[in-house]
Structure 1
């Protein structure tokens, strides 16, 4: 029996389901679509049923990044989902607004703080998008255009219209946006090393204590002929070198521009080059991170600093900037802040 997207099947249903994609869901990635359809199912399990071929699109296997088209028929295997997180008809997500960098009828650009996931799932009850929806109950449409890691701060785009979402996501897919991050890395980055072009692949850590469920998702650099290899290109420019303390050694503040938007791309590329991001608890150095915590760095030093894109309604080319948050700015000496200002004024960014 087929369901048209938008119907409300029983949340506890544990049987094969067939869904037909309508225009509202067209253009979404398969994994993002399934996260919404299978609320309460761990993301690791969603990725597992995709990889195993249990999820089918028009009777064929698909990848997590496959874009859905109107009329596509999806087969979903039996999975038991939780009931919607509602209590007394009210959403559980706390209502929260975030610092606004730009807002009009089509687009909302916010300055996301570190420590907040962009959406709920995988043990996170709610994220930026759920909290925004709770704060704006009259909003007819609010959807994430792209993602940032939970511990990354900075510019995050939200579409306020379906047409804006489709247009902006197309820009991201076609690499027509400019995304530059500020990253503090361990060691002295070679000034002549400006391009990192190394394929990446996702994998899952083993489950803990022999558990059958796989563990956390990770990403690693792989050979070009690896079956799961995805090309990833990162551009790096050195802004300044600095030393935060005797136990941390030398560090480098980098302006990092990504030409591809792979999961954990910056973190893995920089770490694989021997210069992990300061405070990175997944790909960084544990002992140096402990020393940095004593100096006040309680998070990963990665900030989505600048974003350039074409406005989906007006066609104007826009450039947004989010200043370093106070907790990161407090760690950078004045001469480094001056170097950053000079870097900006010369148009290098």
Structure 2
């Protein structure tokens, strides 16, 4: 018989011998990512451990393996392997996320849009103690709900949406899933991008780097259209400006795959300037000396339908000063 547990398990579960548990997804959690769902229900379990049990296949949805970005639905039964819940640490301890606000592009009672700086993860986990969402929650202790609607790579700057109500979260995530949003990035790539190359429709496959430096790191590669592990990914490209040795692109993604823009552009022989995973490492060293200290990828424009009033919203985040300065040196 399946057992339903709440977000705060009874003390017998927390303090007793760990055992397999089953969580039944309710209506309130519909559409939430599996990793967020588990993090909400496994208070006291380190984020790195939560991601580890997902990757290992020990977490199951309706008896099937699932990835961290899988969406749960009402009535789904989530199997959780035995995990020991650590005692809660004081919120003012050394590992606590420091309170921090970020530049606000839009805010009302339903949604918060911020301009995320580069170098800040959107959430804790995978070796990062905390990210934007934990810092926002610490800065706004009275907020009932603050949930990430989507993700940005740690190295990427720009527009990030946060839901302030569960109903808004589901509405917005549905839009992202159904490709009803418009997400456009500014990317500076190496070389002269061909005018005719406007659509990249190439499946992507996630894998872990085996052995040596970077072992266990998550990477992504383009695979053939008949590859069973490939996930379809579509990227639209428009030339914004041509510069000596570079091309500034407006890149709109129709799917939200991990590292999609970085891998798609690099697969065409034009990697993003400063990309340390998929870029030209020798060129990156030279660019660093010229003042480009990070990857030149910025979430510039976002279009979506407001979850409450149904109006179409278009947000813009200007290029950060460091990227603008690289484009227009004195």
- Provide the TM-score with structure 1 as the length reference: 0.86
| Cα distance in 1 between the residues matched to 2:295 and 2:178 | 29
| Structure 1 counterpart of 2:52 | 45
> 1:34 and 2:49 equivalent?
no
1:241-299 Cα deviation digits (max 9, x unpaired)? 113xxxxxx11100000000001000000011111100111101111000000011111
User: 1:19 and 2:23 equivalent?
Assistant: yes
Cα distance in 2 for residues equivalent to 1:217 and 1:228: 15
For 2:26 and 2:265, locate their aligned partners in 1 and report how far apart those are by CA, in whole Å.
40
Verify: 1:98 aligned to 2:93, yes or no: no
Counterpart in the other structure of 2:230: 229
Kindly indicate whether residue 117 of structure 2 is the aligned counterpart of residue 116 of structure 1: no
Shift of 1:83: 4.5
Does the 8 Å CA contact 1:208/1:215 hold for their aligned counterparts?
no
C-alpha distance 88-328 of structure 1, shift in aligned 2 (>3 A): closer
In the other structure, the counterpart of 1:298 is: 293
Q: Distance in 1 between matches of 2:15 and 2:253?
A: 39
Deviations 1:43-65 (A, max 9, x none): 66234223xxx322223343444
Corresponding residue for 1:316? 311
Are residues 87 and 269 of structure 1, via their aligned partners in 2, closer, same or farther at CA, if it must alter by over 3 Å?
Answer: same
2:208 pairs with 1:204: yes
Q: How does 1:77-226 map to 2 (within 5 A)?
A: 77-80=81-84, 82-87=86-91, 92-208=96-212, 215-226=216-227
Question: 2: distance between equivalents of 1:71 and 1:235?
Answer: 37
CA contact (8 A) 2:55 2:67 kept: no
Residue of structure 2 aligned with 1:76, choices 73, 80, 86:
80
Counterpart pick for 2:249 among 247, 254, 257: 254
Assess if the C-alpha contact under 8 Å between 2:123 and 2:132 holds in 1. Answer: yes
Counterpart selection for 2:273 from 242, 265, 278: 278
Instruction: Tell me: CA distance 1:172–1:13, structure 2 relative to 1, closer, same or farther (3 Å).
Output: farther
- 1:162-185 residue CA offsets vs partner (Å, 9 max, x unmatched): 010000000000000000000000
Unpaired runs of at least 5, structure 2: none
Deviation per CA, 1:181-225: give whole Å up to 9, x if none: 00000111001110000000100011448x9xx611011001122
Unmatched runs of 5 consecutive residues or more in structure 1: 244-249, 335-349
Measure the CA separation in 1 of the matches of 2:56 and 2:50. 10
What's the TM-score, normalizing by structure 2? 0.91
Aligned counterpart in structure 2 of residue 60 of structure 1, from 60, 64, 73: 64
Q: 1:242 to 1:267 in 2, by over 3 A?
A: same
Tell me the SS of whatever aligns to 1:266. helix
Matched residues in 1 for 2:193 and 2:85: separation? Answer: 47
Deviation at 1:16, TM superposition (A): 1.6
CA distance in 2, matches of 1:64, 1:40: 12
Q: Describe the superposition over 1:41-97 as per-residue Cα deviations: whole angstroms up to 9, x where unpaired.
A: 3466234223xxx32222334344432122222111234565545346898110000
